[in-house]
């Protein structure tokens, strides 16, 4: 039996757990699919109301962003401002999901403040120490103790990073990446128009699976130890650290999960793939997960098929299959490039000292490996792209709505 759009609207309630960049991006993608994204900006023109309603709209439960003492990172702020007032009203902050239960083709989410939410599905975007992931694992094992599940702590930390941003000075050339390599630690400075992002990578004495707990004091102590390290030919870490806007320290967990979904629950972003930020792709990959998922979900809703556990499971599997190849490639390259900077093998030392001085390795990796995949990046089917770029590697996919002339 086909459901009418109105019934579908009432019955398709998506709960997004996690208010980080990937959770907010998911909520925006769903809101735009529902014709509710108001701000054209870089997302394109406001979507026309769709001929069929896709969801009741996103509900995000997040722990972050409502504490007035905590500055909201610019990316989160930029994403948040894309929502219409109506969609903002569905964003619940200061909520911590503590339990998840499945009911007949429905899910039930319980928060630490005692409130409960029901929905047709859960999208878990609650980061590397995900509660949704733990609950999925528990539910899978309850149903089948012999099931092939990912380990409870799937990610291993071998490195940690001190990071921060500071105003750009004339010592740095805009658009450049400055790196120093060495077996005891590496540094990076990414230079934008007005800001420099700096990173100091260190190797742990022993790899760990425990979550980190660093304070600002830890970050300052780490900076003091590295104070005299040159981050460019002229600038030392202490010079840039003294001018910093903000800094922090965290572990670099690495790993990719085998299982990204179960029944009406699906995971996206750092929950399922975590890697070193030295190649900077974590959020990018999260966005790809979201685009594959939301496109597939919308096609299901548009088809008028029944929305039940089986149909959702098929959509989730399809999205994972589409995302997985690039995730594996980027994870491997990220891990390799970090270890390369630490000269962890004799050939990385050799390559760095001799080959990398003769040829631009980054160029070849980007042009011949990464670029070929990036150009095949998915796009949301319904968002017009007003400024598509056609360089030496033009994009393969374009929205299904009218786009500027190619």
> Which positions lie near ligand FAD, rule CB under 6 A?
17-23, 61-64, 95-97, 125-128, 131, 161, 163, 250, 269-270, 277, 280-284, 286
**Cα-flanking dihedrals φ and ψ of residue 240, to 5°?**
-75, -35
Least Cβ distance, residue 93 to ligand FAD (angstroms): 9
Nearer to ligand FAD, 105 or 218 (CB): 218
Nearer to ligand FAD, 9 or 168 (CB): 168
Q: How far apart are CA 55 and CA 14, in angstroms?
A: 7
Nearer to ligand FAD, 185 or 282 (CB): 282
H or E element in which residue 248 lies? strand 246-256
Least Cβ distance, residue 239 to ligand FAD (angstroms): 20
Cβ–Cβ < 8 Å for 328, 256: yes
Degrees, nearest 5: CA angle 84-32-400: 150
Least Cβ distance, residue 116 to ligand FAD (angstroms): 14
**Reduced to 3 DSSP states, what percent helix, strand and coil does the chain have, rounded to the nearest 5?**
35, 20, 40
Three-state DSSP state, 358 = helix
Least Cβ distance, residue 2 to ligand FAD (angstroms): 35
Nearer to ligand FAD, 53 or 331 (CB): 331
Q: Determine the residue with CB nearest ligand FAD.
A: 20
Nearer to ligand FAD, 268 or 297 (CB): 268
Least Cβ distance, residue 272 to ligand FAD (angstroms): 9
Least Cβ distance, residue 289 to ligand FAD (angstroms): 9
Query: CA neighbours within 13 Å on the CB side: how many for 285?
Result: 28
Least Cβ distance, residue 274 to ligand FAD (angstroms): 7
Identify the burial level of 358 via C-beta atoms within 10 angstroms of its C-beta, where 0-12 means exposed, 13-18 middle and 19 or more buried. Answer: exposed
Q: 210, 213, 240, 208: which is closest to 227 by C-alpha?
A: 240
Nearer to ligand FAD, 44 or 269 (CB): 269
Least Cβ distance, residue 232 to ligand FAD (angstroms): 19
Nearer to ligand FAD, 96 or 105 (CB): 96
Q: How far apart are CA 406 and CA 404, in angstroms?
A: 6
Nearer to ligand FAD, 281 or 384 (CB): 281
Cβ–Cβ < 8 Å for 219, 165: no
Cβ–Cβ < 8 Å for 186, 163: no
Nearer to ligand FAD, 300 or 330 (CB): 330
Cβ–Cβ < 8 Å for 22, 283: yes
**Cα-flanking dihedrals φ and ψ of residue 262, to 5°?**
-160, 125
Query: CA neighbours within 13 Å on the CB side: how many for 203?
Result: 16
**Cα-flanking dihedrals φ and ψ of residue 43, to 5°?**
-85, -5
Cβ–Cβ < 8 Å for 121, 312: yes
Least Cβ distance, residue 28 to ligand FAD (angstroms): 12
């Amino acid at each position: 039996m086909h459901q009418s759009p109105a019934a579908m609207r009432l019955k398709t309630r998506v709960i997004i757990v996690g208010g980080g960049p990937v959770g907010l991006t998911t909520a925006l993608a769903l809101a735009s699919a529902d014709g509710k994204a108001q701000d054209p900006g870089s997302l394109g023109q406001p979507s026309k109301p769709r001929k069929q309603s896709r969801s009741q709209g996103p509900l995000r439960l997040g722990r972050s962003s409502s504490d007035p003492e905590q500055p909201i990172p610019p990316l989160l702020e930029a994403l948040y401002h894309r929502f219409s007032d109506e969609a903002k009203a569905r964003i619940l902050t200061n909520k911590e999901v503590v339990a998840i239960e499945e009911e007949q083709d429905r899910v039930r989410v319980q928060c630490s403040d005692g409130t409960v939410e029901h929905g047709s599905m859960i999208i878990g975007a609650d980061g590397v120490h995900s509660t949704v992931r733990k609950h999925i694992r528990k539910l899978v094992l309850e149903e089948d103790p012999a099931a092939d599940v990912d380990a409870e702590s799937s990610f291993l930390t071998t490195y940690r990073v001190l990071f921060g941003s500071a105003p750009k000075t004339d010592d740095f050339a805009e658009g450049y990446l400055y790196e120093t390599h060495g077996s005891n630690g590496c540094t990076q400075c990414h230079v934008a128009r007005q800001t420099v992002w700096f990173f100091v990578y260190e190797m742990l004495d022993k790899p760990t699976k425990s979550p980190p707990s660093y304070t600002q004091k830890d970050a300052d102590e780490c900076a003091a130890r590295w104070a005299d390290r040159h981050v460019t030919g002229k600038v030392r870490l202490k010079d840039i650290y003294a001018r910093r806007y903000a800094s922090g320290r965290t572990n670099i967990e690495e790993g990719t999960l085998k299982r990204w979904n179960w029944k009406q629950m699906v995971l996206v972003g750092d929950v399922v793939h975590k890697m070193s930020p030295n190649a900077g792709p974590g959020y990018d990959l999260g966005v790809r997960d979201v685009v594959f998922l939301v496109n597939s979900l919308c096609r299901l809703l548009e088809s008028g098929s029944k929305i039940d556990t089986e149909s959702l499971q098929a959509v989730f599997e399809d999205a994972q299959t589409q995302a997985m190849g690039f995730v594996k490639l980027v994870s491997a390259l990220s891990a390799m490039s970090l270890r390369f900077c630490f000269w962890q093998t004799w050939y990385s030392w050799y390559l760095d000292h001799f080959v990398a001085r003769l040829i631009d390795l980054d160029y070849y990796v980007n042009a011949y490996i990464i670029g070929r995949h990036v150009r095949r990046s998915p796009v949301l089917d319904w968002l017009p792209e007003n400024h598509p770029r056609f360089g030496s590697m033009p994009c393969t996919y374009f929205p299904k709505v009218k786009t500027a002339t190619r």
